[in-house]
Structure 1
């Protein structure tokens, strides 16, 4: 199904048709941020439904959930095998870079490596053509940062969040044990980061590939998981153990996160949330505009919180 979009503008006092663009559903972007979140939560919900515990186990947050861990390990094994063993035409095996002018322009058509190649096989060449790396690295290949292969590691990251919740529930009332296990998980994940860093250096890859910004790599998951457990431990100590802070003002937009997200997506480019800057190259004006817009949404969320209005899906 195709339809025509006419761009109109006023010229010499009359409206003129200046452009005509054909749009087709074959160009529809199937993956996306919310799609990835929804699929991740769906898989995690299945794991907890079929292999969870009906009663809260006391001081057991790993052993009793061994079926979940088996499935997560299998999923991660699939990601590792596809990422580092799948042959990608005209690209080195295991490539995780951006392509384009990245890596000194050695692999211009290898954007995303196996992740990008898998998505192009599944969705065709009409898939998402405007990723962030296109402008920065001058890439030519279509690439979706929320593609299929990267969703596997999103599930693993979400599972780490589930693990944090299991710790809080299983050790409820034992604050020292909760903090200790948070820190223990941070140490385990930082060891994974160290091992991965050494592996990359031995294999000849440069350390900047560890960020996994294009494929949401295992290194990215372990790095973010490590910092998340450290931050969670600090927040738990400050808020739950000592009671020094109640989470303000972050609690207000957090209670209406969907409303704030959709509102910013629709209105974020309009006044009073943003305006046309006089100094495009000025970092301070961009910073002020971002802080101003964020402050307005926090204020809106606070007013909705006072009115007990919460938008949920």
Structure 2
């Protein structure tokens, strides 16, 4: 059984949510919003491209993808120039220009109110001060400023990530093969250029390995991960609503124990895979 949510039904749900939720603290950006906007821009690029279908690979032309799609590459490079200029040249009040740190107690507590630098400044300017108050850096760096890891500026690099696919050498150069000592540190919350290049490289390489193992050689059918993949929306929403409750998680006995956190994460993932498997057996698939 496939359950599909029609657009009108979704509009009704959104309307009801707008009535129940206060606009003063409603989070406008988000993971799904970023993914949707990223693929929207990429689809527009492909729609207006003179090469809407992938042409056959010419022998002896390893850079055919770059040569044929040069307008898209120019657009992507312009987007990245915008990100670089805004991130490193935009003056942020009471903060160093080009600051990419977490603020709080980071950098020896020199810039406690500068979380996110230009990225957070733009979000506050466009979306107001009531943006996301629970970023991942809050617990570690004891930050007091709001910051949205899926904000406006980082979305530029998510588009670049979706287009590039693989730029591992670039990531190594920008980060100097270090965690936070490079020209542009690897920073997921900011979606920095080095993070985009690193993730693009890793995902492209992993996709290549999976394609070889599953599709070419047939050594593995993708189990058990095909089951949550067939009900990805259900698993995502279910985890968002129930992921912090038993039996998916519990109050940890040792807060600083990485092993307990790892076990809890693996246990919760295994439970959702099992639930997805039961729905797969029942032929129940939730689609939008």
Normalization by structure 1: what TM-score?
0.75
Conservation of the 8 A alpha-carbon contact between 1:96 and 1:214: no
**Structure 2 Cα separation of the partners of residues 116 and 294 of structure 1:** 32
Q: Is structure 2 residue 132 aligned with structure 1 residue 128?
A: yes
Match of 2:101 in 1: 97
Match of 1:178 in 2: none
Match of 2:118 in 1: 114
Match of 1:152 in 2: 156
**Structure 1 Cα separation of the partners of residues 145 and 54 of structure 2:** 49
| SS, match of residue 213 in structure 1 | coil
Conservation of the 8 A alpha-carbon contact between 2:185 and 2:194: yes
The structural deviation recorded for 1:147 is 0.6
**Structure 1 Cα separation of the partners of residues 256 and 194 of structure 2:** 34
Match of 1:38 in 2: 36
The structural deviation recorded for 1:258 is 0.8
Q: Is structure 2 residue 258 aligned with structure 1 residue 289?
A: no
User: Counterparts in 2 of 1:273-288, with a 5 A limit?
Assistant: 273-277=248-252, 283-288=258-263
Match of 2:208 in 1: 233
RMSD: 2.6
User: Counterparts in 2 of 1:1-313, with a 5 A limit?
Assistant: 24-51=22-49, 53-59=51-57, 60-161=64-165, 185=166, 189-197=167-175, 206-207=181-182, 210-277=185-252, 283-313=258-288
Conservation of the 8 A alpha-carbon contact between 1:109 and 1:139: yes
Q: Which runs of 5+ in 1 are unaligned?
A: 1-22, 162-184
In proportion to residue count, which structure has more helix?
Answer: 1
The structural deviation recorded for 1:109 is 1.4
Higher deviation after alignment, 226-235 or 30-39: 226-235
Paired positions, count: 262
**Structure 1 Cα separation of the partners of residues 246 and 113 of structure 2:** 40
The structural deviation recorded for 1:97 is 0.7
Larger Rg: 1
**Structure 2 Cα separation of the partners of residues 258 and 115 of structure 1:** 29
Higher relative contact order (CA 8 A, sep 6+): 2
Conservation of the 8 A alpha-carbon contact between 1:98 and 1:133: yes
Match of 1:4 in 2: none
| SS, match of residue 248 in structure 1 | coil
In proportion to residue count, which structure has more strand?
Answer: 1
Change (3 A) 1:271 1:236: same
| SS, match of residue 131 in structure 1 | coil
| SS, match of residue 70 in structure 1 | helix
The structural deviation recorded for 1:47 is 1.2
The structural deviation recorded for 1:275 is 4.0
| SS, match of residue 61 in structure 1 | helix
Change (3 A) 1:264 1:85: same
Change (3 A) 1:226 1:46: same
**Structure 2 Cα separation of the partners of residues 145 and 34 of structure 1:** 12
Q: Which runs of 5+ in 2 are unaligned?
A: 1-20, 58-63
**Structure 2 Cα separation of the partners of residues 206 and 277 of structure 1:** 33
Conservation of the 8 A alpha-carbon contact between 2:157 and 2:191: yes
**Structure 2 Cα separation of the partners of residues 52 and 291 of structure 1:** 46
| Post-superposition CA distance 1:21-57 (Å, at most 9, x none) | xx84222221111111111121111112121634431
| Post-superposition CA distance 1:71-123 (Å, at most 9, x none) | 11111111011111111122222111101110111111111111111111112
**Structure 1 Cα separation of the partners of residues 155 and 149 of structure 2:** 10
